[in-house]
Every structure is written in structure tokens, then in C-alpha cells.
């Protein structure tokens, strides 16, 4: 601070080292960023509180009362609130896992091609196209899935059921039932396409950040490009890859429209991903029942939402744990 004799002359000499012009802006910025950080916590707490408070009536009501009040809860048919939540979480996780199993290797392959194999111009174009996939609304994916993908895939399902039907996963529908294609497998495939862009985008960024130093270390000792990727890129990007997959899983778990439009819903714990009327997701079920639900019905649906919230939380904590497990060896240090 420039000292002007008129303003500081009467004050003690130590004031030359007092405040400076940046102090106020620094204080304001500190306040703003702290506020933003706190806001996250407040929002999370508010959501959790809302879920707990709203779901509470459904949790404390006896199954019989709940069955009488809420049209879609039928304890006598094995569809009490808890049982429905169980079926739905099972269906949600099942379809999300199908999506992950399909999307993760493809995404990593695309990301690797863009970051380490493709010529620069092609890589850029491909990157834009992938990002464009993320911009397609999920309703459009749902329509496309029903109108194009399902009819296209149905013959493959029949083939799978004919030749691999002895594996429960691929068992054909009971005789008499026809292949509709509106099954968990189709929903999983559409979900895979939907989460592909996010996983690809994140892994691509991480792959690109691999230190050249480590890549050259591998190449200089006579590694092929693929060996270099295995020695330098993957270990460096491991936690990023897990993070990207979890982001994709997060999106798949909460996806409503596409699943709702594609699948013929059902409530079972069956592994038959090629059979209709077997599975539904939490989000899809809530969207389906919400318009007709009475007060207790809404409360039950919120309880289901709470369950989804909890599994998403668990998935994320699991991911953190996986990432941190070998942090001593991580590429970050």
C-alpha cells in the first residue's frame, strides 16, 4: 500500500505493515467459496431429510394398512413395500450392471483410441461425436430403443436363448410366450449407450494426462504401444477409470425414461434377462406409479427413492475405497 503522509502521519509507524488492498477481495472470495462448499452439505442434508421425513409414514405403517391404502402394494401377493423395494433394487442393479459390462470396455477402448492411437484430426472428430451422444435426451434414446433397437436385437435374443439357454441368464420365455425384446437386456443395452459418452469422456481425459515421462520410460525399454499402455497409462489412470465407471453407474441407476419406455415391467428376482415382465427399476417404477398415487402411496414411493439414494451412496463409497486402497502406489505421487 502506498503510504500518503496525510492519512498515516498521525498513526504509529507499525501501520506501514497493516492492511493491503487485496485483503478485502481475498476475504470476500474466501467467504464465497466456503459458502459454496457448505451449500453442498446443506443440499445433501436437505435431500436426505426430505426422503426420511416423507418416507416415514410408509415405514411405520403396518403392511396390512399399507396394502389397503395403497393400490400398488399387495402384501398378500408377496408385494409388500419392502418386497417391492427389494425387487426394484434388484432390477435397477441388474440393468445397470448389464449396461456397465457392455459400456466400460467399449468406452475404455474408444478413449484409448482417441488418446493414444488415432491421428490427431480423427481423434478430435471422434471426440466431438462422442460428446454429441451425451447431448441426446433420454426420451429419444427410449423411442429409438423401442422402435429400432428392440426389433433389431430380437433375433439375436432368440439365437442366444437357443444356444446358450441352458445358462439361466439367457433362458427363453416359457413356451407360449413370444420374444418381445422388451426385456432387461434391451434396457441394459440402451443404458450402455447412454453412459458410454460420460465414461469415454472422463477416461479419455485421464489417459491424456499420463505423464509423457512414464510413457517414454516404457517405450524406451522396448515396449510396444499396447505394452506401454499396460505399463504406464492404465496404472496411472486406474482411479480415474473407476471414477468414470462410477459416474456411468450413477447415471444408469437413476435413469427413468429410456427404461420405462423399453421394458415390460415386472416384479421378480429372476435372472432371466431375455424374458419380459420380470424386472423394473426404482426410478421407472416411481415414475409409473406417481401420477395415480394417494398420500400414503407417495410416501411409499419416496421410501423407494430413499432406497435408491442409499445404494447410490454405497456405490460411491465403495468406489472411493477401491480408489484409495493402493494410494501409496498411485500414479499421483
Binding site for other proteins (CB under 8 A): 120, 211, 213-214, 216-224, 227, 231-232, 235-236, 238, 326, 328-333
- Tell me the β-bridge partners of 296: none
Beta carbon nearer to other proteins, 77 or 216? 216
| C-beta contacts of 287-290 below 8 A and 24+ residues apart | 287/256, 287/257, 287/260, 288/260, 289/72
> CA angle 224-230-235, nearest 5°?
145
> How far is 300 from 72, CA to CA, in rounded Å?
10
Tell me the closest approach of the beta carbon of residue 240 to other proteins, in angstroms: 13
* Inter-residue contact 194 to 138 (CB < 8 Å): yes
User: Residue 126 CB, nearest distance to other proteins (Å)?
Assistant: 17
Residues in CB range of 191: below 8 A, 6 or more apart:
95, 96, 98, 99, 103, 252, 255, 258, 259
Q: How far is the CB of 330 from other proteins (least distance, A)?
A: 7
Beta carbon of residue 220, minimum distance to other proteins (angstroms, whole number): 4
Work out how close the CB of 331 gets to other proteins at its nearest, in angstroms, rounded to a whole number.
5
- Cell 459416474 -> residue: 247
Given the complex with other proteins, which of 66 and 218 has the nearer CB atom?
A: 218
The torsion defined by the Cα of 81, 82, 88 and 91, in degrees rounded to 10, comes to: -150
Q: Which is nearer to other proteins, 24 or 326 (CB)?
A: 326
Closest CB to other proteins among 77 and 227?
227
List, in order, residues 6 or more apart from 315 with CB less than 8 Å away.
246, 249, 250, 253
Nearer to other proteins, 248 or 331 (CB): 331
Please, which residue, 152 or 329, has the CB nearer to other proteins? 329
Nearest to 190 by CA among 137, 154, 149: 149
**In this complex, which beta carbon is closest to other proteins, that of residue 166 or of residue 321?**
321
CA distance 267 to 11: 80
Name which of 98, 97, 70, 95 is nearest 84 in CA terms: 70
Least distance to other proteins, CB of residue 108, Å: 17
Counting beta carbons within 10 angstroms of the beta carbon of residue 204, is it exposed (0 to 12), middle (13 to 18) or buried (19 or more)? buried
Q: Which residues does residue 74 pair with via DSSP β-bridges, in sequence order? A: 79
Q: Smaller CB distance to other proteins: residue 117 or 159?
A: 117
Positive/negative CA dihedral, 211, 212, 215, 220 = negative
In angstroms, give the least distance from the CB of 122 to other proteins. 13
Closest CB 238 distance from other proteins, rounded Å: 8
Q: Which residue has the cell 507499525?
A: 14
What span, in angstroms and rounded, lies between the C-alpha atoms of 186 and 276? 10
Shortest spacing between CB 249 and other proteins, in angstroms: 24
| Closest to other proteins by CB, 123 or 143 | 123
Amino acid at each position: 500500500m502506498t503510504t500518503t503522509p496525510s492519512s498515516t502521519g498521525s498513526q504509529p509507524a507499525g501501520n506501514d505493515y497493516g492492511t493491503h488492498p487485496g485483503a478485502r477481495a481475498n476475504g470476500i472470495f474466501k467467504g464465497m467459496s466456503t459458502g459454496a462448499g457448505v451449500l453442498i452439505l446443506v443440499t445433501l442434508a436437505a435431500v436426505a431429510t426430505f426422503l426420511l421425513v416423507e418416507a416415514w409414514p410408509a415405514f411405520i405403517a403396518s403392511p396390512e394398512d399399507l396394502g389397503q391404502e395403497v393400490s400398488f402394494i399387495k402384501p398378500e401377493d408377496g408385494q409388500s413395500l419392502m418386497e417391492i423395494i427389494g425387487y426394484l433394487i434388484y432390477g435397477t442393479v441388474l440393468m445397470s450392471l448389464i449396461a456397465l459390462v457392455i459400456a466400460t470396455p467399449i468406452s475404455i477402448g474408444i478413449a484409448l483410441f482417441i488418446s493414444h492411437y488415432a491421428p490427431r484430426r480423427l481423434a478430435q472428430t471422434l471426440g466431438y461425436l462422442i460428446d454429441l451422444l451425451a447431448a441426446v435426451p433420454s426420451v429419444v434414446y427410449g423411442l429409438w430403443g423401442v422402435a429400432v433397437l428392440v426389433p433389431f436385437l430380437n433375433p439375436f435374443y432368440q439365437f442366444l436363448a437357443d444356444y446358450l439357454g441352458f445358462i439361466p441368464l439367457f433362458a427363453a420365455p416359457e413356451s407360449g410366450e413370444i420374444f418381445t425384446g422388451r426385456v432387461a437386456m434391451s434396457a441394459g443395452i440402451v443404458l450402455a449407450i447412454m453412459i458410454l459418452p460420460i465414461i469415454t469422456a472422463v477416461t479419455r481425459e485421464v489417459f491424456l494426462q499420463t505423464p509423457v515421462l512414464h510413457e517414454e520410460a516404457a517405450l524406451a525399454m522396448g515396449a510396444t504401444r499396447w505394452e506401454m499402455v499396460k505399463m504406464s497409462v492404465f496404472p496411472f489412470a486406474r482411479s480415474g477409470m473407476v471414477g468414470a465407471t462410477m459416474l456411468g453407474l450413477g447415471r444408469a441407476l437413476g435413469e427413468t425414461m429410456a427404461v420405462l419406455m423399453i421394458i415390460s415391467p415386472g416384479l421378480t428376482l429372476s435372472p432371466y434377462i431375455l424374458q419380459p415382465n420380470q424386472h423394473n427399476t426404482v426410478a421407472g417404477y416411481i415414475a409409473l406409479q406417481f401420477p395415480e398415487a394417494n398420500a400414503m402411496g407417495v410416501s411409499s414411493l419416496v421410501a423407494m427413492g430413499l432406497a435408491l439414494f442409499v445404494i447410490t451412496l454405497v456405490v460411491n463409497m465403495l468406489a472411493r475405497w477401491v480408489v484409495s486402497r493402493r494410494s501409496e502406489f498411485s500414479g499421483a505421487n
